[in-house]
Structure 1
Amino acid sequence: MAPTLTGAAGNARARRVRAAAALAGVELNWDSKFDMKANWKTPEFLAKNPFGFLPTLELEDGTVLRESGAIAQYLAELGANSTLLPSDSKQKVEVHEWQCTADQELFIPGSLANRQLQGVLPYNKPNFDGIVKKINERLSVIDNILASKTWLVGERITLADVFVVSALSQLFATIIDGEARSKIPNVIRYFETFVNHPKLLEIFNPTNLIEKVTPPAAPAKEQKPKAEKAPKEPKAPKAPKAKEVDEEEEEPLVPAEPKVKNPLDDLPKSAFNLEEWKRQYSNLDTRGAGGSLEWFYEKFDREGFSIWRVDFKYNEELTQVFMSSNQVGGFFNRLEASRKYLFGSVGVLGKANDSIISGAVIIRGQEIEPVINVAPDWESYSYKKLDVDGNADDKKFFEGAMAWDLVVDGKEWADGKNFK
């Protein structure tokens, strides 16, 4: 009996598996009418696959395989005359390199950007643009490689091509539009050659390439309610109803601590609206005319707020870029108590095992410690006040951190986080 594939028709990972099976000559049982809402994560599905991942492949003996990469490799090896996995050990490693590149450099970041467009994740323009910029850089590298090659490894289609084209099909339908595709002609030629292979026509066509990326509409500004006319004879306010006693409610074992007023609330009122800045930053280009930085310089209150450079003290301990980025995210999470007093843009600059953490924050007041010391690890960072009006280097640093194109000592921005 043929293995049974479970996955949605339009899912790029399911297409990856179907393409591997088609090229390897392996028959699959697959229901194209699989419904994510009705059929996914049902008790029956989770009994076979507790992680709930899609797609899955159920074998004749009841074994359920998960992870599309593992499934595709299994099918490639199952095919009697399959050349999807080269016999040469060096070429086999090259195929695995491309499998990793397809997932880590194209598919996963592309999915994160697309989720912002879909509203699954909050849309953040600098973050979105940074992801797309990085993907386009990777596509440019692949375009140069394909200038003299038909396929990525050797002279025949391998799993390297299955993985990369599956990722490209997702990118070209969501975030890499016509203008961006026009800059990578070799990739497009390669993509079209693959998807029009006789065994793959049904799987990849129609390709539904997007012509123009449309960012989500900016949230509507809140309308102030119109003032209501005062009634001629205002009614006396009703006494609040007594709270009904919950028979199961118990007194707390420890009395609640009284709320302590934050001294930052006693600072003189400021005309600079930090929350409005966060909205402008999220919805406008950072640089250029009409951008968020132009708005910032026009509105910024230099008496009520200040700008600081933030640097991690122990950069020699940093290893992988994504781990360092997660560290920044953890630091920001621990600053939650200061959310209404703080905006931050901090990134990882450099590459694996040779990187630094640096960026800038905008804070209420002129002293950094009252805002930042709510994070237990605040002393792991150094802080320097920036003068964006009188110091060109400080201004350049601040704008680079905001625009996610900061360069420090030759190390370029690799990944970053915003605290908003």
Structure 2
Amino acid sequence: MKIYEFTMAPNPRRVRVFLAEKGINVPYQQIDLATAENRKPEFLKINPMGGVPVLELDDGTRIAESVAICRYFEETKPEPRLMGVDAKDKAVVEMWNRRMEFEILMMTAGAFRNTSDFFKGRIPQVKEYGEICRTAALKRLEWLDTVLADREFIAGPRYTIADITALIGIDFGRLTGIKVEDNQKNLARWHQAVSSRPSAKA
């Protein structure tokens, strides 16, 4: 078993944090996105979509997409439960994780992809769309601050994958000036708490 990843990318970090919370150690093989190694024929045989991370099981099965990888490990090592404990809780965690994906992580990634020199000449970039993503992410951080006024973690009283996704999205946003503002006290309290967990260093 191993995971193909690129340390600097947000979605591989999401898996690393998830596995660190569960105390699972998996060997990693780096795929250098900076040199477009993920677009070369050798890697496209592993994942035709060209993305990382990819989990490769001992039987040769390959699972791409970070949440799918997390789901595999949630099922094989349930504790601590990071994706819900019963039908209702699983649905609530899924709802919040999807919101953090669409409203935070995708917006910060969209800002980076469309404005950063890292992708210049490598993918089509629309600077105006990148700025739209940046503005949307900042608005959603304002909203998330209000959500966290009456709860310790994003999906309720327990730390879950929704917190991981939000953490990754917010930290990645720093590259394009998206950050927690001084007046967002609830969000700042939450961010400090989740950033202080040992898993956040993964």
What residue is the counterpart of 2:82 in the other structure? 84
Runs of 4+ residues deviating >6 angstroms = none
Residues 89 and 35 of structure 1, relative CA distance in 2, 3 Å threshold: same
TM-score normalised by L of structure 2: 0.86
Deviation at 1:198, TM superposition (A): 2.1
Match among 49, 52, 59 for residue 51 of structure 1: 49
Residues 53 and 96 of structure 1, relative CA distance in 2, 3 Å threshold: same
What residue is the counterpart of 2:32 in the other structure? 35
Deviation at 1:174, TM superposition (A): 2.4
Q: Please, which runs of 5 or more residues in structure 2 have no aligned partner?
A: none
Written as runs of structure 1 = structure 2, the 5 A alignment for 1:292-331 is none
Residue 163 of structure 1 pairs with residue 165 of structure 2? yes
Residues 113 and 69 of structure 1, relative CA distance in 2, 3 Å threshold: same
Residue 104 of structure 1 pairs with residue 102 of structure 2? yes
* Contact in 2 for aligned 1:114/1:175 (Cα 8 Å): no
Identity of aligned residues (%): 27
For residue 6 of structure 1, give the secondary structure of its aligned residue in structure 2.
strand
Larger radius of gyration: 1
**Number of matched pairs:** 195
Q: Which has the higher strand share?
A: 1
Task: Find the aligned partners of 1:115 and 1:29 in 2 and give their Cα distance.
Answer: 28
Task: Find the aligned partners of 1:156 and 1:43 in 2 and give their Cα distance.
Answer: 42
* Contact in 2 for aligned 1:91/1:154 (Cα 8 Å): no
Q: Please, which runs of 5 or more residues in structure 1 have no aligned partner?
A: 204-420
Task: Find the aligned partners of 1:128 and 1:48 in 2 and give their Cα distance.
Answer: 30
Q: Which has the higher helix share?
A: 2
* Contact in 1 for aligned 2:2/2:57 (Cα 8 Å): yes
Residue 13 of structure 1 pairs with residue 17 of structure 2? no
Residue 173 of structure 1 pairs with residue 175 of structure 2? yes
What residue is the counterpart of 2:192 in the other structure? 192
For residue 3 of structure 2, give the secondary structure of its aligned residue in structure 1.
strand
TM-score normalised by L of structure 1: 0.43
Residues 24 and 129 of structure 1, relative CA distance in 2, 3 Å threshold: same
* Contact in 1 for aligned 2:167/2:191 (Cα 8 Å): yes
Match among 120, 127, 132 for residue 123 of structure 1: 127
What residue is the counterpart of 1:294 in the other structure? none
What residue is the counterpart of 1:153 in the other structure? 155
What residue is the counterpart of 1:142 in the other structure? 144
Deviation at 1:38, TM superposition (A): 6.4
* Contact in 1 for aligned 2:14/2:165 (Cα 8 Å): yes
Task: Find the aligned partners of 1:172 and 1:90 in 2 and give their Cα distance.
Answer: 34
Residues 130 and 199 of structure 1, relative CA distance in 2, 3 Å threshold: closer
